[in-house]
Amino acid sequence: MITWIRSAAIAPGKVPDAFAFVKKAAKLIEEKYAIKIVASRALAGNPTRIFWYAQHDDLQAYERDHQKINTDIEFQQMLGEASQCFIAGSTHDEILQTF
């Protein structure tokens, strides 16, 4: 099992907009590709970070799924519109393997 986790720092005053973007994007991806993305926020630590993750059967599935997401025109447009919600350069990805 492969777990992909992305986190990003939310720009000042943009917490509601960032949450709305992640929820909308996750819904789009699930409806179009049946890829479930779960969004989370920190209850302790830095409250201006948002996290979202997806699980995949293996690395091939991860690559295939993210290829679909990253080439989706509608998603890319949404991502561009939401860029002001996040601090540039703060996005961080982790790819974990369950054993």
Q: Is the pLDDT of residue 52 over 90?
A: yes
DSSP letter for each residue of 37-74: -EEEE-SSS-TTEEEEEEEESSHHHHHHHHHHHHT-HH
pLDDT band per the 50, 70, 90 thresholds, residue 95: very high
Mean pLDDT, all residues of the chain: 95
Report the pLDDT averaged over residues 34-63.
Answer: 94
Q: Is the pTM of this model over 0.75?
A: yes
Q: What is the pLDDT of residues 66-86, one digit of tens each?
A: 999 999 999 999 999 999 999
| Domains of the chain and any CATH numbers | 2-97 (3.30.70.100)
